[in-house]
Amino acid sequence: MTDKNELLASVSESSAESEYFSPMPKGYQKGKTKYVVVMGTVMSGLGKGIFSSCLGKLMQDKGLKVAPIKLEGYLNIDSGTLNPFRHGEVFVLDDGMECDMDLGTYERMLEKDLSQDNFCTSGQIYREVLEKERHGDYLGRDVQMIPHVTGEVKLRLRTLAMKSNADIIFVEIGGTVGDLENAFYIEAMRELAYEEGPHSCCFVALTYILEPRILGEQKSKAAQLGIKQLMQSGIQPDIIACRARNVVNEKARQKISVYSNVPIGRVVSLADSASIYQIPAMLRECGMDFEVLKLLHIEDRIDLRKERVEWAKWCDFTDKIGKEKHEIIIGITGKYTSVRDSYASIINALEHSGIILGCKVKIKWIDTSIITGKNVAEHLKDVDGIIVPGGFGVRGTEGKIACIKHVRLNNIPFLGICLGFQMAVIEYARNICGLKKANSTEIEPDCSEPVINILPEQKKIEGLGGNMRLGGQDIKLKPDTTAFKLFGNNPSIRMRFRHRYEVDPRYVEKLEKAGLIFSGKAPNYPIMQILELSEHPYFIATQAHPCLTSRPLHPHPMFTGLVAAAM
């Protein structure tokens, strides 16, 4: 990895007399790396990340090196403080960056781990600009949106190009065209295309074709106006992807083509799909991949032999979708169940395992804030297994404990994740170890039996904001346990974490003597990371988030184990 200091831009050309300011990383060559910029119109939530990652996969299959970056408009430095109800799940990268859930889509589609270089917010950009201003890096100039803020955005993209040595950088701009907070990103993309030269950038506009039931026909006017807004920003789209409930008809596509100066062959229909993993085939069938190659003039860089091999592997996976011979119901017992995006990675991980095992996994959403010991059996009566997912705060925790007790006593397969792991410890401590007042200091700060606690020595160990443990960590597995077997008898594995509270080491011996097995621990510290029960069909929980590293062709073993046990 190139040292960041070596990539810092030279701003020696900047002066009070010159209007030119476009910082470049050391050694950067204009035109070498190409850029595909994906923006949305009409409304957010159209699937820009899904489209961008699927197109990136097609390019990667052709032997091209790709790197994605998500540009977010909000002023937060990262996504760590965002409520799942507002913005979906917080996806954690291996290096500890808390980011947008679209980064999870990129990791799954591209089968690669990303880093903080692949995620950028307005807050990060403004902070960087203000720090440079305080250091005097702008040589006496008045610091402005153009060229300094837009220059910082371009520097981010070019630095990523240098670090990744990518043939194509896929740039996704969050939100929609017309959002005030996105204006400087869009201007930066216009400047980037101007500076990089012809055939350097491909602009893709995702739009939405309305189909009001009362009219019974597709309407493209909202899409036309959204694209007009993009063109008024100085950007001519090269490709327009039309999202809709049904296949977009020729008439609507013709209207958009005429209105936007985009050839009809590059105005494509992207109707709703049963699985996002079928979308690469949709893009391939309409020739989207080769249109991009032609627009960027990089047809000579592709490896068709590699593409045949990679595409065959992908088709072996997608051909199983919809042909499952078994069906199970998995209950997800959480408190954010009204917003499905809150558990996007769990949903994907279940789909990966189900497809591989030939099993259709149906999800039953169970709000634990209404679960009690008296009604838990009724709520769980039709599930074949449950997941108790992560979360923060007090609400719904007693409901989660009630669910865990029920599945433990009734031999129903169980997977606990993060907070689910902690609730399993509390349930076992209360009902098996006789620690009736066992709890977490997150839930009850002054509890007399804090089996889950924040420990001062753990704060020192991690040094991440004082008490948050973030990113990839190694886990040492205990031989001859379920976890050990799930991971192919590997003595050490790696998973991603995002939590503040741990099992208090003072209670570990008592819990283990009562039959709870801690099958995964931190290599050098008394931090419990995986637990299980030996006399249960499948009772396992982890302080980590295994869903974050599940991939379509490589499902996470903990989810595969749950689905297999539920079958």
Closest CA to 59 of 260, 238, 289, 259: 289
Domains of the chain: 32-315 (3.40.50.300), 326-566 (3.40.50.880)
Question: Residue 117: what are its φ and ψ, rounded to 5°?
Answer: -65, -20
What is the Cα–Cα distance from 123 to 125, expressed in whole angstroms?
A: 5
Q: What is residue 340's three-state secondary structure?
A: helix
What is the Cα–Cα distance from 563 to 312, expressed in whole angstroms?
A: 26
Burial of 190 (0-12, 13-18, 19+ CB in 10 A): middle
pLDDT given at position 109? 97
What is the Cα–Cα distance from 48 to 175, expressed in whole angstroms?
A: 9
Burial 195-220 (b: 16+ CB within 10 A, else e): bbeeebbbbbbbbbbbbeeeeeebeb
Q: Which residue type is seen at 323?
A: K
What is the Cα–Cα distance from 274 to 354, expressed in whole angstroms?
A: 14
What is the Cα–Cα distance from 402 to 489, expressed in whole angstroms?
A: 33
Burial of 322 (0-12, 13-18, 19+ CB in 10 A): exposed
Question: Residue written as tokens 């055939």?
Answer: 199
Residue 245 neighbours by CB distance under 10 Å: 13
pLDDT given at position 339? 64
pLDDT given at position 88? 76
- Backbone φ/ψ region at 413: left (φ over 0), alpha (ψ -120 to 50), beta: beta
Closest CA to 543 of 413, 393, 386, 423: 423
Query: Tens-of-pLDDT digits for all 567 residues of the chain?
Result: 444 444 444 443 445 566 677 889 999 999 999 999 999 999 888 889 999 999 999 999 999 999 999 999 999 998 888 876 677 789 999 999 999 999 999 999 999 999 999 999 999 999 999 999 999 888 878 899 999 999 999 999 999 999 999 999 999 999 899 889 999 999 999 999 999 999 999 999 999 999 998 888 899 999 999 999 999 999 999 999 999 999 999 999 999 999 999 999 999 999 998 899 999 999 999 999 999 999 999 999 999 999 999 999 999 999 999 888 999 999 999 876 666 778 999 999 999 999 999 999 999 999 998 999 899 999 999 999 999 998 877 888 899 999 999 999 999 999 999 999 999 999 999 999 999 999 999 899 999 999 999 866 555 554 444 457 889 999 999 999 999 999 999 999 999 999 889 999 999 999 999 999 999 999 988 899 999 999 999 999 999 999 999 999 999 999 999 999 999
DSSP 10: P
